Amino acid sequence: MKSRFMAAVCAAVVALSLGVHAQGKGGAASITPAELKDWLSYIASDQLQGRQVYTEGLGLAASYIAEHLKEWNVKPAGDDGTYFQVVKVNGVNVTRNSSVTVTVNGQTKTFKDGEGVTFPANAGGKQTVTGQAEFVGYGLSLPEAGIDDYKGRDVSGKVVLYVGRGPKSMPAGGNRLLGARARNAIELSHAVAAIGPSIGGGFGRGAGAGTPAAAATPPTTATPAGTPPATGAQPAAGRGAAGGGRGGANATLGDFTTVQRLDNKIPPQITAGDEFFDFIFSAAGQKYADIKAKADSQDAIPAVALNNVSITINVDADYTIVQTRLTRNVVGIVEGSDPKLKDTYVLFGAHYDHIGYQQTPPRPASPQRPQGAEAGGGFGGGSAPGGCTGQQRDTPKAGDVINNGADDDGSGTVGVMAIAKAFATGPKPKRSVIFVWHAGEEAGLLGSRYMADYPEVPLDKVSAQLNIDMIGRNRCDEASEANTVYLVGSDRISTELHNLNEDANTSLAAPMKLDYEFNDPADPESIYTRSDHYSYASKGIPIIFYTTGLHRDYHYVTDEVGKIEFSKLAHIAQLVYTTGVKVANLDHFPARDNKGPRKGKGASGKIGS
């Protein structure tokens, strides 16, 4: 078997060196549907076995990409002059010494981790965080649904507290929204920490972001109550590697798995029990039992001022690495033309891994069996994917056990290849452009989180990151979506970047319809946190995420090359390329005004200053 795979790679390399690839003028026009199809037919073939992290199939994909980069004269930008950055995935044991100290009207009480409060397994580096307590009810800001617990409040620099599972008017898909409360309090409202109840689905870190659970399984099943996985941590054993195909790998050891630095200071996201909240609310002369009863019946929760409550969080955990597994990012660079600006960068990214293969034949969807309930499904909760209401999956071909990932994210993989070729064989912009094919996205954003913590170039020299994940289809296979691409995050960190992308689109011979629905903070899929761009955005780098949305073949054996819309794929790659050229030629970095998401459902166009 092994030699047959190698023969395939050799054949591909020989074909290249025989001059199948003609050196054109480069640029956007060099991005063609025919070439994208050619590359994707290999990347998403059964030979690559679904490209699961740590497998032979992923290695074949890495070699294929690297050989093309070499052919186009894209320079290596990985470790030691190679095209590869080794990603170390550590299994870590934790010794918990963290605590929360609450001062109420001069009276003090300390709750240790595991005794009334629970810190994530990966609580980050040691630090002490202090702030005034601010109670924000259900902790939700969903103005479109008529819910805004933050209205009229400034929680900046404070410790946010929230309770419950949302009011009766919670929109569909509320679990991700509940799971995002702590993260949103910190990222959007600039709280220094967040404390929520230790009931399922209602707490913070990891409940929605980048854990394997978030990437591939329903959030409701992902996290046992009271033990939220940390950002950058996955509960052991890579559960997100849905679909099997682990190839006899060892079970993951350790309390959590991470690729990130363990000394990173992370804003605390903590869950707490009744005793903790009892003490907090005693300050305001309120009984927590009354508030809890209202929360349990999803009634309106009264505002409670906690003026005399201050909270000190002492993050103190010791970590021991007990296992390391290795995978690789593929990294290439085209140097900029400006002697001053060439030491600054625009990053382009996609993930080249997928979820592997089913070790047993997948069960077809049936009316009795909600879609996505099987391993590798990923829609969760019986709901249809991304709002594709009423759609059923195709019955797979008999014996088809391979999740080809043609759209996810074979489409982005070949899209970034085309962009790299366009830069390498075309005009050079002032800044350098770097291309990263991330490994292990499906297992918890492994490759991008590693790159963001151990970058190959200094992050403060990175002007923007443009990420592509699933750009080869029409959302829910709707023909009306043929010219639509969804943009997420473009306006959150840099308004200027958003506007550059709008200008790039207008400059295309045939502009696309840019849709910001998934950028809406009330979007139930929390897409902003669910692909590799989020690893860079978390470091303050402006990003744009390009996707064509979910469909019924998502994370299923039927995500195959035959279903890809190659002209659309080429068109979006041209848009990303054109935006990249604009950013790379700018004499300054796109300004980071951090105004958060403004373009949402139904919005379009540039944002005025």
**Residue numbers of the site for Zn ion (CB under 5 A)?**
408-409, 469
Q: Closer CB to Zn ion, residue 409 or residue 560? A: 409
For 602, counting Cβ atoms within 10 Å of its Cβ (0-12 exposed, 13-18 middle, 19+ buried), the class is exposed
CA 288, 294, 298, 302 torsion: positive or negative?
Answer: negative
Q: Closer CB to Zn ion, residue 123 or residue 350? A: 350
Q: Closer CB to Zn ion, residue 26 or residue 412? A: 412
Decide: 472 and 384 in contact? Cβ < 8 Å. no
Give first-to-last CA distance, the chain, whole Å.
60
Minimum distance of Zn ion from residue 526's CB (angstroms): 14
Helix crossing, 33-43 with 412-425: angle to 10°? Answer: 130
Alpha-carbon span 9 to 122, nearest angstrom:
40
Q: Closer CB to Zn ion, residue 42 or residue 546? A: 546
DSSP 347: E
Minimum distance of Zn ion from residue 272's CB (angstroms): 34
Decide: 182 and 196 in contact? Cβ < 8 Å. yes
- Beta-strand relationship, 345-351 and 462-468: parallel
**Which whole-number Å values give the CA distances from 516 to 93, 183, 469, 499, in the listed order?**
41, 21, 15, 13
Minimum distance of Zn ion from residue 416's CB (angstroms): 13
Minimum distance of Zn ion from residue 407's CB (angstroms): 8
Q: Closer CB to Zn ion, residue 425 or residue 547? A: 547
Minimum distance of Zn ion from residue 533's CB (angstroms): 11
Minimum distance of Zn ion from residue 351's CB (angstroms): 6
- Beta-strand relationship, 462-468 and 543-547: parallel
Q: Closer CB to Zn ion, residue 100 or residue 470? A: 470
Alpha-carbon span 51 to 58, nearest angstrom:
4
Alpha-carbon span 514 to 603, nearest angstrom:
9
Minimum distance of Zn ion from residue 142's CB (angstroms): 26
In 125-169, at which residue ranges do the beta strands (DSSP E only) sit?
127-135, 141-142, 147-148, 159-161
Q: Closer CB to Zn ion, residue 267 or residue 410? A: 410
Q: Closer CB to Zn ion, residue 255 or residue 469? A: 469
Count of C-beta atoms within a 10 Å radius of residue 273: 16
For 9, counting Cβ atoms within 10 Å of its Cβ (0-12 exposed, 13-18 middle, 19+ buried), the class is middle
CA 425, 564, 514, 384 torsion: positive or negative?
Answer: negative
Minimum distance of Zn ion from residue 44's CB (angstroms): 13
Minimum distance of Zn ion from residue 412's CB (angstroms): 7
Q: Closer CB to Zn ion, residue 408 or residue 491? A: 408
Taken as a whole, the chain contains a residue count of 609
Q: Closer CB to Zn ion, residue 408 or residue 502? A: 408
What is the secondary structure of 340-403 as a DSSP string?
TGGGSEEEEEEE--B--B-SSPPPPPBTTB-TT-STT--S-TTPPGGG-TT--PPPPPTT--B-
Minimum distance of Zn ion from residue 389's CB (angstroms): 22
DSSP 379: S
Minimum distance of Zn ion from residue 440's CB (angstroms): 11
Q: Closer CB to Zn ion, residue 409 or residue 453? A: 409
* CA 195 remoteness from chain centre: 23
Decide: 356 and 51 in contact? Cβ < 8 Å. yes
- Bond from prior residue into 409 cis (ω within 30 degrees of 0): yes
Minimum distance of Zn ion from residue 568's CB (angstroms): 17
Minimum distance of Zn ion from residue 469's CB (angstroms): 4
Q: Closer CB to Zn ion, residue 116 or residue 447? A: 447
Minimum distance of Zn ion from residue 35's CB (angstroms): 21
Alpha-carbon span 212 to 353, nearest angstrom:
13
Backbone phi, then psi, for 319, in 5-degree steps?
A: -115, 140
Beta-carbon contacts of residue 460 (< 8 Å; ≥ 6 apart): none
- Beta-strand relationship, 147-148 and 345-351: unpaired
Within 323-411, residue ranges assigned H as helices are: none
Alpha-carbon span 272 to 427, nearest angstrom:
56
Q: Closer CB to Zn ion, residue 166 or residue 415? A: 415
Decide: 413 and 43 in contact? Cβ < 8 Å. yes
3-class DSSP state of 149: coil
Q: Closer CB to Zn ion, residue 409 or residue 553? A: 409
